[in-house]
Amino acid sequence: MPKITEPLNLLKETVEDDVKQLRISQDQDARVGHKSADSSFFGYKTHLAMAEERIITAAVITTGEKNDGKQLQTLIEKSKAAGMKVKTVIGDTAYSEKDNIAYTKTNEIELVAKLNPLITQGGRKKEDEFLFNKEAGMYVCKAGIWRFGKLGKLGRKEGGKNQRNINYFDVEKCKSCPFKEGCYSGGASKMYAVTMKSDEHSKQADFQESEYFKAKAKERYKIEAKNSELKHRHGYDVATSSGLLGMQLQGAMAIFAVNLKRILKIVE
pLDDT (tens digit per residue) in 34-49:
776 667 788 899 999 9
Q: Is the pLDDT of residue 95 over 80?
A: yes
Q: Is the pLDDT of residue 130 over 60?
A: yes
The order of strands in the sheet holding 31-34 is 31-34, 40-50, 56-63
The reported pLDDT for the residue numbered 36 is 67
**Mean per-residue pLDDT of the chain:** 82
The reported pLDDT for the residue numbered 211 is 97
Q: How many CB atoms lie within 10 A of CB 64?
A: 17
Q: Is the pLDDT of residue 230 over 80?
A: yes
Separation between Cα atoms, residue 100 and residue 111, nearest integer Å: 8
Q: How many CB atoms lie within 10 A of CB 96?
A: 25
Locate all alpha helices (DSSP H) within 91-142, ordered by sequence. 98-106, 117-120
> In Å, what is the CA distance from 32 to each residue of 47, 66, 251?
16, 9, 19
In 3D, which of 255, 247, 248 has the Cα closest to residue 27? 247
Domains for the chain: give ranges and CATH numbers.
18-117+204-267 (3.30.420.10), 123-196 (no CATH)
Q: Average pLDDT for residues 110-120, to the nearest whole number?
A: 84
Separation between Cα atoms, residue 21 and residue 40, nearest integer Å: 15
Which segment of 123-132, 146-155, 170-179 scores lowest on mean pLDDT?
Answer: 146-155
Q: Phi, psi (5° rounding) for residue 205?
A: -65, -40
In 3D, which of 127, 121, 89, 108 has the Cα closest to residue 205? 121
> In Å, what is the CA distance from 173 to each residue of 33, 126, 132, 165?
47, 19, 19, 21
| pLDDT band at residue 88 using 50, 70 and 90 as cut-offs | very high
On the CB side of 263, CA atoms within 13 Å amount to 8
Partners of 152 in beta bridges:
166
Q: Average pLDDT for residues 83-98, to the nearest whole number?
A: 94
Most confidently modeled range among 95-99, 117-121, 162-166, 255-259: 255-259
16-31 confidence digits (pLDDT tens): 655 555 555 578 888 8
The reported pLDDT for the residue numbered 150 is 47
**What percentage of the chain carries pLDDT values higher than 70?**
72
| pLDDT band at residue 107 using 50, 70 and 90 as cut-offs | very high
Q: Average pLDDT for residues 220-235, to the nearest whole number?
A: 95
| pLDDT band at residue 83 using 50, 70 and 90 as cut-offs | very high
The reported pLDDT for the residue numbered 201 is 86
The reported pLDDT for the residue numbered 162 is 61
Which segment of 18-22, 53-57, 211-215 scores lowest on mean pLDDT?
Answer: 18-22
